[in-house]
Structure 1
Amino acid sequence: MSASGVPAATEDAAAAAASGTVLETPNNRESRDGRGTTPRSYSFGSHGRLRPGWHYPQKGKYELHPSLIQEMTSQLENTRLPEKDYWDDTEVTTAVLWGFTNLLLLIIAVLALQLPLLNYLRGRPPIDLEFLLWSLDGAVTTLLLYAAMVLGSFSVFALHWLAANGWISVPLRELLYRFACGIHLLVPYKVFLNRSLSPVPAFFIGLQSLVLLLKNHSYYFGIRAKQIERHGMCPDLVSLKRFLYFLVIPSLVYRVEGYVHSPRIRMGFLLRRTLEALGCMFLIYELVVYSMMPVFKQVNQLSTVEFIVELMIPAVLLWTLLFIATFEVILNVFAEVTYFGDRRFYEDWWNSTNLAEFSRKWNRPVHDWLYLHVYRCLMRRGYTKLVAQLFVFLFSAIFHEMLLSITFLRVRAWMFTLMMLQIPLIYLAKLVPAEDAGHPVLRRGANLFFWFGMFFGPALLFLLYSKDYYQNT
């Protein structure tokens, strides 16, 4: 104790602070001797500030304290999702970012409501309904075509039921199945091209046609493979209840052994998803009507560069909103009402470093179908891995081209060509170790290049198809 009544250690610390020196403590003395203490862990409460009990920095060196962003990043990277087949999205750690989430939602709400409010204040209709009325034109025809396709899907079930009960032979079943597939694919396709449907209902009916085709194929070969495995027709495998369930669940792969089921239907979850669906549709409508349609109508007056620059941001926003509406909202609603427990409809495609990783992650239902019914089928037949991968890409390119051909009511090959041109880019990307976590600079650069493609590719496709569409209408 000093004469002033202040503890000597405190007095020495004050003098040291005034002179700019650092007192030697047991902690930093051990650090200089090479016997330093173990690194301390930081919590969200620190925010990079000194707390009581932290050791003093070494003399002549700086001690780096993590910022809040660094702490959040480290914490979120170490957060693992529950390793269960069915898990509630509320179990994911999001408490740290709830303020930023609120800010993002508020910005989206203001941008969505800004234009209708300004139109109302200026004496104009809040929303232009011309595009909506155009999209609803032919809605009755669209629903009738969809109902006819769903009824046609029962032919696949009927063929298995007739063969399992001895009404038809197996070779006849195989022949009739291929005939039914051709009818399901070609007849609706011909009907679409002969009717003047607007792109929105044409896109919907074309997408549902392909979905039903993939489901029918998976159901037929799933039952057939199990019958071959059991060396019998096994009538118990052909169940109308299971077939109807498979038609409505958000999966394209039929599993004879069944699916993981969720424990109950959550009404709050359904309500939230319904509101999200309405919000996504409203944003998509505003984006198309006010940001994209004016550019489409000037496609023959604008240069190629002007058109692409005008549509780069709207195109990637439209793609993102459609992705959210489909994989995060619609598929989850169907999964909830059918007690379907496997909600892994996509992975972290936004972190992709090449197109192969993106193709594998962004659409898990289609990826699983292609892997099971194309890739593994070809591998079992003795084809090499490279050939099997090329056929997977070929099938995917054909399906995408068929969908766009139905949407714009004319057969072109722009989408097919661009997707096939991605193959050499994929194999060139394998020469760069961008997926390795030990090369963060390469990984970031590859991800930026991927996102540039996401901005440029959809805008280029819109240019090619809209120019052709407006020149012939």
Structure 2
Amino acid sequence: MVGEDGISVRNRRSAYGTPEEKNDVPRRLEGDWSFPSSSNGRIDVDHTMRRMQLLAEVEKLKPAFMKEFDNHFTEFVNGLVAKSVMLESSPSAFPTACTEKESLKTKGSRAPPEHGKVFIARKSLLDELFEVDHIQTIYHMFIALLILFILSTLVVDFIDEGRLVLEFDLLVYSFGKFSVVAPTWLYMFLSTLLVPYGLFLQWAKGYHGSSHKTIHSLFFGVLFMVFQTICLGLVPMYIALAYELPPASCFIVILEQVRLVMKAHSYIRENVPRIVSCPPQKSNSLQVPQVSQYLYFLFAPTLIYRDHYPRTPTRRWSYVATKFAQILGSLFYAYYIFVRLCIPTYRSYSRENFNVRGLVLCIFNSILPAKDWWNSTSFANYYRTWNVVVHDWLYYYAYRDFLWFFGKKFKAAAMLSVFTVSAAVHEYVLGVCFGYFYPVLFFLFMCFGMVFNFILHDRRKGAIWNVIMWTLLFLGQGIIICLYSQEWYAHQYCPLKNPTFLDYVKPRSWACQIKI
């Protein structure tokens, strides 16, 4: 049947195509745009023109469609990446409290934690290095050297005593008075768990509802500083000095004191800006981190607080046992190094008058046991990588906060302040644990360390700079071990009955003379 326009009515009824044409749609979408013929063998002109027009319209809309699709896809991917980073670093400690844009609206507020250090699941640097065959060989060499130290000690003691001596007197003495160390550590840990968390909780609940936010914050800030200074500062130091804890036990108390102080500061420093930056209208929905999150942070091997950290899907007890065995091996390694190399040398030097020749020999004999493992070509890189955990804390809470407070023009002053704080804390630990004031490390750190940091910078590349780094590290560590050991034995051999203030400041090894 034919209509007025001469076109088959059956074909007009099939404007969307016959069943065969419909089945042919996927083929044409893939690029085959040939058109079927009518039942009488002629090309359906109207059908062809409509499809040509449709194709032209599709081609016109294609760029706009692709552009819109690309924009939506880009936004989706960026949002997915941002959410994954936030989940790894600080996932919604305050889920409905405030958004990132609202947090940044507050003028002068510090950037939220997700703009700082981001934790990702990865192997440790040492684990990656130990996968290299050459590094494993060096590791096996050190194990063999430890075995030789043990055998040499046993053989020498057997020759001298006529029997095997397995008393470990140095270890027993160094880790003595455990009955004092254990309750002291428990006191420091529980106070760090309860006091900072409780103070922050009370401050956060009343901050947005307070009519005097500055006074409110100042009050709780002073309480926190009093806790840090007295409860975590003076009390452990007094216990260490009053009970005259031996070196290793004293190091446990003082190093844990420093670690907990830094942990508490990080917890407060990372969470306070979240409360301050959030708008008051959302203050009712504020949710502080849970106690379990803070408790996990106190044991986590980092000094930067996050609500969550990436973790392995299962507990690797074999890995834990391996690392525990390595810690014990390192402990015995240090023990045999001191027994076989250090103590005989320092004991003999301490019985001689102080002179330049003896000092030089002592320093060079102390280089081998003071060997450092890190490999670097610049002091700047060495300071960043010798202790990454401490460096992160100093960078974010000392260096960056200094620049945030005083401005980015004072980078040199910020670096100097970081060096000063680090050197002072190191010297404080050594002074309390050894029982005397002898600022050798502080002097080396502030003088030579600062100079070498600017001279041996990151642009120094090549093998020669690596050799210079190793030479200076060997020499510096030898000086530290030699001078501190001489001062230790001088205090043992030359005690003072009525010491004055100058006697505590003046190195006793300079004037100690023992007549044999």
TM-score between the two structures when normalised by the length of structure 1: 0.68
- Alignment match, 1:217: 265
**Is the Cα–Cα contact under 8 Å of residues 160 and 238 in structure 1 kept in the other structure?**
no
Instruction: Give runs of aligned pairs for residues 248-263 of structure 1, distance below 5 A.
Output: 248-256=299-307, 258-263=308-313
- Alignment match, 1:469: 488
Instruction: Give runs of aligned pairs for residues 279-358 of structure 1, distance below 5 A.
Output: 279-301=329-351, 303-316=358-371, 320=373, 349-350=374-375, 352-358=376-382
Paired residue secondary structure (1:127): coil
Residue type of the alignment partner of 2:122:
Y
- Alignment match, 1:172: 219
Please list the CA deviations of residues 14-66 of structure 1 after superposition, one character each: whole Å capped at 9, or x if unmatched. Answer: xxxxxxxxxxxxxxxxxxxxxxxxxxxxxxxxxxxxxxxxxxxxxxxxxxxxx
**Is the Cα–Cα contact under 8 Å of residues 240 and 250 in structure 2 kept in the other structure?**
yes
How far does residue 121 in structure 1 lie from its aligned partner after superposition?
5.3
The two structures, once aligned, show a CA RMSD in angstroms of 2.7
Give the 3 Å change call, closer, same or farther, for CA 238–171 of structure 1 in structure 2.
farther
| Structure 1 CA distance for aligned equivalents of residues 122 and 143 of structure 2 | 31
**Is the Cα–Cα contact under 8 Å of residues 199 and 220 in structure 2 kept in the other structure?**
yes
Residue type of the alignment partner of 2:378:
N
How far does residue 224 in structure 1 lie from its aligned partner after superposition?
0.6
Residue type of the alignment partner of 2:250:
A
| Structure 2 CA distance for aligned equivalents of residues 179 and 221 of structure 1 | 16
Instruction: Give runs of aligned pairs for residues 11-410 of structure 1, distance below 5 A.
Output: 85-87=121-123, 94=131, 96-97=133-134, 100=137, 104=141, 107-119=144-156, 122=159, 123-153=162-192, 154-166=194-206, 169-183=216-230, 184-231=232-279, 235-256=286-307, 258-301=308-351, 303-316=358-371, 320=373, 349-350=374-375, 352-381=376-405, 382-383=407-408, 384-410=410-436
Paired residue secondary structure (1:265): coil
Give the 3 Å change call, closer, same or farther, for CA 142–362 of structure 1 in structure 2.
same
Please list the CA deviations of residues 354-393 of structure 1 after superposition, one character each: whole Å capped at 9, or x if unmatched. Answer: 2221010111111110111011111112152211111111
- Alignment match, 2:443: 417
- Alignment match, 1:344: none
**Is the Cα–Cα contact under 8 Å of residues 145 and 205 in structure 1 kept in the other structure?**
yes
How far does residue 433 in structure 1 lie from its aligned partner after superposition?
4.2
| Structure 2 CA distance for aligned equivalents of residues 202 and 118 of structure 1 | 32
**Is the Cα–Cα contact under 8 Å of residues 299 and 467 in structure 1 kept in the other structure?**
yes
| Structure 1 CA distance for aligned equivalents of residues 233 and 417 of structure 2 | 20
Residue type of the alignment partner of 1:253:
I
**Is the Cα–Cα contact under 8 Å of residues 146 and 333 in structure 2 kept in the other structure?**
no
Question: Which of 1 and 2 has greater Rg?
Answer: 2
Structure 1, unaligned stretches of length 5 or more?
1-82, 321-348, 436-442
**Is the Cα–Cα contact under 8 Å of residues 401 and 416 in structure 1 kept in the other structure?**
yes
**Is the Cα–Cα contact under 8 Å of residues 251 and 365 in structure 1 kept in the other structure?**
yes
* Structure with the larger RCO, 1 or 2 (CA within 8 Å, 6+ apart): 2
How far does residue 84 in structure 1 lie from its aligned partner after superposition?
6.7
How far does residue 410 in structure 1 lie from its aligned partner after superposition?
2.3
TM-score between the two structures when normalised by the length of structure 2: 0.63
How far does residue 275 in structure 1 lie from its aligned partner after superposition?
2.3
Percent identity of paired positions between Structure 1 and Structure 2: 25
Give the 3 Å change call, closer, same or farther, for CA 174–121 of structure 1 in structure 2.
closer
Residue type of the alignment partner of 1:355:
F
| Structure 2 CA distance for aligned equivalents of residues 190 and 170 of structure 1 | 30
Give the 3 Å change call, closer, same or farther, for CA 296–206 of structure 1 in structure 2.
farther
**Is the Cα–Cα contact under 8 Å of residues 204 and 275 in structure 2 kept in the other structure?**
no
